[in-house]
Amino acid sequence: MPEPVPATPQLLRRVSAGAVLEFMRASGAVTVTDIMAATGLTRATTIAVCEDLAGRGWILELENQREFGGYRKGRPARRFELNERAGVVLGMDIGYAKVTVVAADLRGRTIGRASRPFQAGEVGSRERIAFIDDVAMAALRSAGADPGQVLAVCAGVAAPVDRHGDVVATQEFWGLFDMGLGPALKETRGWTVLLENDANLAALGDRWQGAAAGVDDVVVILASERLGSGIVEGGRLVHGTRGSAGELAYLNLVEGVGDTLGIAHLARTWAADALAATGPTSLREFQPRRVEAEQVFAAAARGDAVASGILDRIADRMARVVGTVSTMLNPELVVIGGGVADSAHVLLAPISARLAGYTATPARVAVSPLGDAIVTVGAVRRALDYVEENSLDLVLAAPATPA
């Protein structure tokens, strides 16, 4: 077990500053008393931290207005507010064939976004990094920000990442994401880049702004093309020894599952199989084009028997997946997330109905409202956490007043 870090004055200042910024990120104008109640800091420490953060440009001290129009004896309370445009963070979702970058202010609100398909082919790390950098610059331009205002970047990749931020490249596909992105962007842009598994970021994002808000024991399953999960246990993200906690390759051994193919992939594949047969189905109206998952869900909603049968097969398969997760990890909640989540609400009832047959400890099941933004939402949150934890070490490029 590692030795505890001594509680030096410098560490206490850092922790106190982070706690104040975290509270103010989710608040409007607050008084010293409000901050004390939320953080447990003493009045003297709260005032010292606020004055320090204001001097550095992180927060703004507002003019006192005598308690909003009414006369009161004594000195009016000092009020502070987060300087939300003092800098920006970037959240990246780096897939094999698409890169999405979100620029967010210090409250985590999206102020710019760019997303581009990437023709991977036989390209090297240098080309992939250049492409990612181009998308990031496009997101900054749409936000009206410049590279010098970026305080932190978090990038989600479709590979295990250990707790030190290193890709575990034990498979060829995972190795594609071991491209040296952090050192490259540090050298060219001066940015600190935090690397994380995309499903782990999905768990952080949904617990922040999604169906799992306030839930301390949750598993979030990215379920569109392939299945992967992020685990939050006791309020903490679980990585495992080599970053592989949440990997679902064991599903290859699960009866009735057999692989990690996701809902969208299965819906397309099984629709193609049905169209190759001779039976009647409204899915034929989409031929000769490929039938997409959304069209299968829509056809089932119209009462198409073939499409309904496909969704029934998917629900049973997902119930087996959720059942294994419930048995091994015993979470309070399992969240289905990713691009397919917009359609997956119809699967909740049949999945839940089957769970008791696959596990003695069924979890509650929900669908994330974040859709395909779930990874970038988590990436933004991780970047904000870094900024708040290191605020006394970061220098703001050009502190500005809120727009």
Give yes or no: residues 194 and 103 share one domain. Answer: yes
Question: pLDDT per residue over 111-169, tens digit each?
Answer: 999 999 987 666 788 999 999 999 999 999 999 999 999 999 999 999 999 988 888 87
CA 129 to chain centre: 21
In a domain, 93, yes or no: yes
What length is written for the chain? Answer: 403
Helix axes 32-39, 9-25, angle to 10 degrees: 110
Q: 328 in helix, strand or coil?
A: helix
pLDDT tops 90 at residue 183: yes
The domain of 155 spans 88-204+375-389
Say how far apart CA 61 and CA 47 lie, in whole Å: 11
pLDDT tops 50 at residue 18: yes
Question: pLDDT per residue over 319-365, tens digit each?
Answer: 999 999 999 999 999 999 998 988 999 999 999 999 999 999 999 99
Residue 257 backbone dihedrals phi, psi, to 5 degrees: -120, -80
In the prediction, which pLDDT does 381 show? 97
The CATH number for 74's domain is 1.10.10.10
The conformation of residue 277, written as its DSSP 8-state character, comes to S
Please give the tally of structural domains in the chain: 3
pLDDT tops 60 at residue 14: yes
Give yes or no: residues 52 and 69 share one domain. Answer: yes
Task: With cut-offs at 50, 70 and 90, classify the pLDDT of residue 288.
Answer: confident
Domain boundary (82, 104, 139) is at 82
Domain boundary (36, 57, 82) is at 82
Residue ranges in 61-179 assigned as alpha helix (H) = 125-143, 172-175
In a domain, 247, yes or no: yes
Domain boundary (23, 49, 82) is at 82
β-bridge pairing 218-222 and 30-31: unpaired
In the prediction, which pLDDT does 403 show? 41
Give yes or no: residues 296 and 175 share one domain. Answer: no
The CATH number for 289's domain is 3.30.420.40
Rounded to two decimals, what is the model's pTM?
0.91
* Average pLDDT of the segment spanning 49-64: 91
In a domain, 394, yes or no: no
Q: What is the mean pLDDT of the chain?
A: 91
In the prediction, which pLDDT does 4 show? 57
Give yes or no: residues 352 and 220 share one domain. Answer: yes
The conformation of residue 7, written as its DSSP 8-state character, comes to -
Residue pair 374/366 in contact by the 8 Å Cβ criterion? no
